[in-house]
Structure 1
Amino acid sequence: MKKTIVTLLICLIFTGLHAQNIFSPSKNIKVTFDINKKGQPTYQVFYKNKAVVLPSTMGLSIKDAEDLTHNFEVVNTENLSFSESWQPVLGEQSSILNTYNQTRIYLNQKETNNKLNIVFKIYDEGVAFRYEFPLDNTVNYFTVSNENTQFNLTNNHEAFWIPGDYDSQEYAYNKTKISDIDNSKIDLNNGVGLKSITSQYRVQSPLMLKSSDGLYINIFEAAVVNYPIMHLDVDVNNFQFTSNLVPNALGDKAYLRTPSVSPWRTLMVSDDARDIVSSKMILNLNEPNKIEDTSWIKPMKYIGIWWEMHVGLSTWDYAGSQNAQNAGTAFGEMIPSGKHGATTENTKKYIDFAAKYGFDGVLVEGWNTGWEDWYGKWKEDVFDFTTPYPDFDIEEISKYAKSKGVKMIMHNETSGSVANYERYLDRAFTLMQTYGYPAVKTGYVGKIIPRGEFHDGQTMVNHFNFVAQRAADFKIMINSHESVRPTGYHRTYPNYIAAEAARGNEFNAWSNGNPPDHETILPFTRLLGGPMDYTPGIFEIKMNTYDSTKTEQVHTTIAKQLALYVTMYSPLQMAADLPENYQKHLDAFQFIVDVPLDWQNSIYLEAEPGEYLTVVRKDKNTERWFLGAITNKDPRKTSISLDFLTTGKKYKATLYLDGKDADWKDNPKSYQIITKEVTSKSDLKLKLAPGGGAAISFELID
């Protein structure tokens, strides 16, 4: 049941008004809004009377018109207090509290009479504000050429950052002082296929920061709709960040009309890191669910024909790229290479494995024609998303999967040709309906078509949101890869079940990989905006198993791979390794079989960005709890109180732990499994190996 409480107060404010204070419900956070001598809107942020953001200017530059940055006066304000609880379709908890104080400030630009509203929502965990462009007499069309939102910080904080790349977020995080942010000093070639970095001093949001006196600060955005993604330009000398909007092919940032709004600009702050990682502020800032019947939106645990391509055992293409060039484009003229992974026979093996262990779905990549000549060609019409290769019998496979109680997951790689995908979209979704595919993994590898557009621009934001909306009409769930990073839009369209939009597990197969601290940073950055399809569960850690010349490996222990199913929230989780590798470790694989994907409650017990994370979650449908604990390259000892368990009840705890000699680099496959009886009064002492973790299930026995 949804409960809403709103208190509204309207105040007329005259031109002479200056500073106005807005408080969070707890009073711990204060925002001071003001108009300076130039008529510029400014704001400051305080946490427990300590300055977090110094006076920072606000506003936008408008193409061929007066900029909305100066010469403003306040004409009135509107204040309200709001509180509601709402229930997500899928989530980390079954009910979410949305409580804030809001102030809407009505501005008028002298001489031009242009109107601009700035709306603040102050939560106990942070501040959000956005620009509103009201309708004034007639509809006004305008072009945003820049946004001038500043975040003027107080000191040289420690920052967890990746380069401000308009086309990719697939970077390992850097941990430096703000003054040391410099894209020219980092490895930009670590497996990232497409790079569009146009500034030496630009980073992406969400940006995680920590002050020397123990404040945790996060700069991000929410509800990005019909607007480009916000990156951040850095003044490394003055510790100041300024919004940088991703341009389109013409260099413009956003095409808007009145009435419309910008995304929310957010700043979370706390002296407890757990408040940041557990926050639902980004989700709360999005519009409520627009899908009436959500019964078809369900969590999915899946396996798939995917990792075998990354480790070189098979290929996406049917005939090989050289064969395709020699023989033409029609697959009937090609000679099969013999390495194609997406065959009917191979798919049935995966279906059998999924059925045996109770998995919901099987993903198959490389099932459709076009893979021989696709990568890096910037071609308009690579895929038609409906024509299978001759060795993939889509009808037979669908019937076989149905007989085994397994759902198939579609794969639509667009090769960045978005215009082509939109032309085929309804036909692709109709094919999925015909053969009973409830979900699709979309891919956007390569430069975007329409040519000149970036992955993070307004055109692509609109595309990703449109695909989710159109998929809802077909009752299909979306899992996007190489997309813009989520900003909570899955509240509005909960069929947008997951996304990649960060450096995923596959980079461990063919690059320098993801350092051991990577998974301890992502929950403080990428995952704040929505679930991530990280593809955990790799048991065969070292790639020289497949090729003796390879030196690549996964930078975790097996126990940490298990813990990721709890620490990296997603209602769509892949057991990414090969079935034969799980057969070698069925005792450890049992945790992947058991762990649910939809939760009644989640409690972040310990958290420190870049170092460690411990979270426990309760299954939405049973009395079972599951705990995940991970660490970075350093070993860690910790004691966990089990006071979250029901008082007076006994539980069977199954602990999947690092072995005594485990180490992510030297001995990653060493693990131990222990069972014991526990209660809410018990404490568990855990020892995590370097790059290690612990995964625990708690089953009610009394």
Structure 2
Amino acid sequence: MRKLLLSAVVLLAITISSSAQDLTSPNGNLKLSFKIQNGTPTYQLSYKGKEVVKTSKLGLELKEGASLLNGFDVRKADYNEANETWSPVWGEERTIRNHYKEMLVTLDQKAQKRFIQIRFRLYNDGLGFRYEFPLQDSLNYFVIKEERTQFAMNGDHKAFWLPGDYDTQEYSTVTSNLSEIRVKMKESITPNASQQPFSPTGVQTSLMMKSKDGLYINIHEAALVDYSCMHLNLDDKNMVFESWLTPDAIGDKGYMQTPCKSPWRTVMVSDDAREILASKLILNLNDPCKYEDVSWIKPVKYVGVWWEMITGKSTWAYNNLTSVKLGEIDYAKTQPNGKHAANTAHVKEYIDFAAENGLDAVLVEGWNEGWEDWFGKNKDYVFDFLTPYPDFDVKGLHEYAKSKGVRLIMHHETSGSVRNYERHMDKAYQFMVDNGYNAVKSGYVGNILPLGENHYNQYMVNHYLYAITKAAEYKIMVNAHEAVRPTGLCRTYPNLIGNESARGTEYEAFGGSNPDHTTILPFTRLMGGPMDYTPGIFETKISNVNPENKSYVRSTLSRQLALYVTMYSPLQMAADLVENYKKHMDAFQFIKDVAVDWDESKYLEAEPGDYITAARKAKGTNNWFVGCTSDENGHISNLTLNFLDPGKKYVATIYADAKDAHYETNPQAYTIIKGIVTNKTKLTLKAAPGGGYAISIIEVTDKDALKGLKQF
């Protein structure tokens, strides 16, 4: 009898541990099933009855001892639901709804006398899940050899991907089926200052896909803190992605101490591409703002001494020295090269232009000693972030800018020497405060020092956050270039006002980006946070800036305006030279008018790789701005302005490609027309190949302002 009872108990345990725990999204469209199969945690995800993620394994392989991969039973599953709203410091929306259903599964690994938890959250637009490791005697310190999270795809999807790399995301996006990644990988890896591809089928997140039955699927991560950045490695025979963490100098992928947790792994899914763009899932999975006082954090529209160095017209360096040791050279006694752009007189010209046109700030690069001998040298003590060149009057320019109502943005290029930046950081930030700077653009070009570390491993992830939180102590906003791609941390640390972490406009001067580039980035790179893309290049033929540079910007002028709307960022640069704007002040009016902070955003039409049209309502106003970006095939939009308030009239100014505009042959051909619109207005607008359009829609209460204007 006792033997029979014991058998029944064992059978019951097997039944419980192998049965599925299910979770459904608030609207019922998404369904998650969690199950233990032969001791291994697995999950499956479906959308409106269609399988999105087939049964996929979960777990972590440890460097030493038994791994967290199998031998598990379900101890319990706890359920919860949250439905709240919160207001970001800046963003695409004034308020964001955070509505999800949650399941916390506790898993016992009885043979090792330890347990872990996996927390699942289902939103109407996707799934987030993470590993949690509570404090316990049998699981304290551990080293991750590899995370083995799988994402098994239900087909050979069309994908928009970047080659997996531990050090850069500055590649052109490749569009192909998943089965073609291996074939196209080699040609997709183009030169960069620092790069380390890891697999013939490895790709980066955020990964955007479209299934043959019309589902849009996006895989990324949220709240990347004290952990290595996740890539994806594809088993292209079975169409199964598996997580692939960025290693440190000795190959380890994470040093953990309980209690701790992983970042969230995210899967967004919809049958409407616009819902992917509008998703706030990644922001919602991050913690609320850590700062009590956020009054000093302000969105910024700026110009800068930058593009002329990128194009090769000017230099960051003061002279042509080939070797520099800081403190051992008296620059005042050296011969200037005559091309140094960050000089007092020239910066004043940019300050004047900003003041005259209502722009907030001026970025200056190349202001500090050391630029002659910094690139590619693996040099530790390269900049001190304190000592200006002889022709750059720090205090005088601060006073001049202050008198004009303009702020200056400081540039800190670390050249990858993280130890050097951290040793100077407090003094550098205090120097900024003393001289009126409240924002910094930091850079991490080149190999990371200490050598062997990568841009995206746990060590560097911790450094980037250290720089952000240290800057907050001095009330400084951070725009980090070459850092790890964002994962929504701007919600928690809103002084992280921008990132690069992708192929930005600078590459247009280095040989160009594909015409569809800006129709893909909002579906990939921008999923985790805004990008300092630096739009607004009016002179698209680079040889007209520097005769020795034969590159050209693969965009029409009108599309450059549209990017201020489609490429969301609270940090927007008017990136071209002042003299090029002065030739087209009628078009520059849109850059003057367009907002950088919003109450409401709507994606009117979208197809990754083809086109995006967005409309945004400027914060605290009733004014709207619309932008459309198109690929090399062009696009025709049929818009209804039903997002406008009923019964009200607006003046719309449309900045559109001319009939003969083309990104290659006639990029500066544009038209500007004005007219009256209401919420019933319908517009048919054409974007040229590589083109787009921009519209400002300003509410009018004075009837006299409508005189002479026709209704569209």
TM-score of the aligned structures, taking structure 2 as reference length: 0.95
Contact 2:17–2:36 (8 Å) recurs in 1: no
8 A Cα contact 2:616 2:624, kept in partner:
yes
Secondary structure of 1:152's aligned partner: strand
- Amino acid paired to 2:500: E
Counterparts of 1:170-319 in structure 2, within 5 Å, are 170-182=170-182, 185-188=185-188, 190=190, 192-319=192-319
1:534 matched to 2:526:
no
CA apart distance, 1:341: 0.6
Matches within 5 A, 1:352-363: 352-363=352-363
Q: Which amino acid aligns with 1:538?
A: I
The aligned residue for residue 480 of structure 2 is 480
Correspondence for 2:710: none
C-alpha deviations, 1:562-621, integer Å up to 9, x for none? 000000011110000000000000000000000010000000110110000000000112
Shift of 1:322: 3.6
Matched with 1:73 is: 73
Kept after mapping to 1: 8 A contact 2:499/2:532: yes
Q: Secondary structure at the match of 1:589?
A: helix
* CA deviation profile, 1:131-176 (whole Å, cap 9, x unmatched): 0001124871111111000001110000100000100000010000
Match of 2:685 in 1: 686
Amino acid at match of 1:98: N
Contact 1:323 1:335 (8 Å CA) reproduced: no
CA distance in 2, matches of 1:176, 1:127: 25
> Shift in Å at residue 548 of structure 1?
3.9
Q: Does 1:626 align with 2:629?
A: no
The whole-number CA distance in structure 1 between the counterparts of 2:125 and 2:657 is 34
- 1:636 deviates by 1.4
* 1:8 counterpart residue number: none
AA in 1 matched with 2:584: H
TM-superposition CA deviations, 1:654-694 (whole Å, max 9, x none): 00000110000000000000000010010111011000001
Q: Distance in 2 between matches of 1:90 and 1:546?
A: 35
Q: Which amino acid aligns with 1:165?
A: D
> Counterparts of 2:629 and 2:89 in 1: how far apart (Å)?
28
| Aligned-pair CA distance for 1:638 | 1.4
Superposed displacement of residue 450, structure 1: 1.6
Preserved contact between residue 323 and residue 334 of structure 1 (Cα < 8 Å): no
Question: Counterpart of 1:699?
Answer: 698
CA distance in 1, matches of 2:16, 2:307: 63
- The aligned residue for residue 425 of structure 1 is 425
Task: Name the counterpart of 1:5.
Answer: none
* 1:514 alignment counterpart: 513
Cα displacement (A) at 1:110: 2.3
Partner in structure 2 of residue 19 of structure 1: 20
Label 1:182 to 1:18 Cα distance change in 2 as closer, same or farther (>3 A): same
Distance 2:285 2:548 in 1: 50
Aligned amino acid, residue 427 of structure 2: R
Per-residue deviation, residues 349-404 of structure 1 (Å, max 9, x unmatched): 11011111011000000000010000000000000000101110100000100011
Distance 1:278 1:13, change over 3 A: farther
The answer as to whether partners of 1:13 and 1:76 remain within 8 angstroms in 2 is no
Structure 1 counterpart of 2:590:
591
Residues of 1 paired with 2:183 and 2:588: CA distance?
Answer: 40
In structure 2, how many angstroms separate the alpha carbons of the residues matched to 1:520 and 1:421? Answer: 35
Residue-by-residue CA offset, 1:497-533 (whole Å, 9 max, x unaligned) = 110000000100122x111100000000000100100
Are the counterparts in 1 of residues 308 and 545 from structure 2 also a CA contact under 8 Å?
no
CA distance in 1, matches of 2:672, 2:186: 40
SS at match of 1:187: helix
What is the identity percentage for the equivalent residue pairs of Structure 1 and Structure 2? 53
Mapping for residues 48-197 of structure 1, pairs under 5 Å: 48-137=48-137, 140-182=140-182, 185-188=185-188, 190=190, 192-197=192-197
Mark the CA change 1:622 to 1:16 in structure 2 (over 3 Å): closer, same or farther.
closer
Alignment CA distance shift 1:144-1:185 (3 Å)? closer
SS in 2 for 1:581: helix
Cα 1:212–1:188 change in 2 (3 A) is closer
Query: Which amino acid is the alignment partner of residue 614 of structure 1?
Result: T
1:112-148 Cα deviation digits (max 9, x unpaired): 1121100000000001110000112487111111100
Question: Which residue of the partner structure matches residue 9 of structure 1?
Answer: none
Deviation for aligned residue 1:630 = 1.1
- 3-state SS, counterpart of residue 234 of structure 1: strand
Query: Which residue pairs with 2:599 in the alignment?
Result: 600
Q: Do the aligned residues in 1 keep the contact of 2:320 with 2:337 (CA within 8 Å)?
A: yes
Alignment partner, residue 35 of structure 2: 34
For structure 1, the 5+ residue unaligned runs are 1-11
The aligned residue for residue 8 of structure 2 is none
Letter in 2 for 1:582: Y
Measure, in 2, the Cα distance between the counterparts of 1:334 and 1:68: 61
- Partners of 2:63 and 2:183 in 1: CA distance: 29
Mean CA deviation greater in 545-554 or 400-409: 545-554
Deviation at 1:198, TM superposition (A): 2.2
Structure 2 letter corresponding to 1:686: L
Whichever residue aligns with residue 581 of structure 1, its letter is: N
SS of corresponding position for 2:427? helix
Q: Match of 2:409?
A: 409
1:549: how far off?
4.9
User: SS where residue 506 of structure 1 aligns?
Assistant: helix
Moved over 6 A (4+): none
Whole-angstrom CA distance in 1 between matches of 2:444 and 2:394 = 23
For residue 671 of structure 1, what is the aligned residue in structure 2? 670
1:505 corresponds in structure 2 to 505
The 8 Å contact of residues 13 and 74 in structure 1, kept in 2 or not, is answered as: no
RMSD (Å), alpha carbons: 1.5
> Matches of 2:168 and 2:334 in 1, distance apart?
34
Cα pair 2:554 2:664 within 8 Å, conserved: yes
Query: How far off its partner does 1:331 sit?
Result: 2.6
1:644 aligned onto 2:648: no
Q: CA deviation at 1:183?
A: 7.0
Cα 1:548–1:386 shift into 2, 3 Å: closer
Distance 1:529 1:185, change over 3 A: closer
Q: 1:414 to 1:324 in 2, by over 3 A?
A: closer
Does structure 2 conserve the Cα–Cα contact (< 8 Å) formed by 1:657 and 1:671?
yes
Equivalent residues of 1:270, 1:276 under 8 A apart: yes
Q: Distance in 1 between matches of 2:186 and 2:563?
A: 27
Give me the whole-angstrom Cα distance separating, in 2, the residues matched to 1:400 and 1:328.
Answer: 31
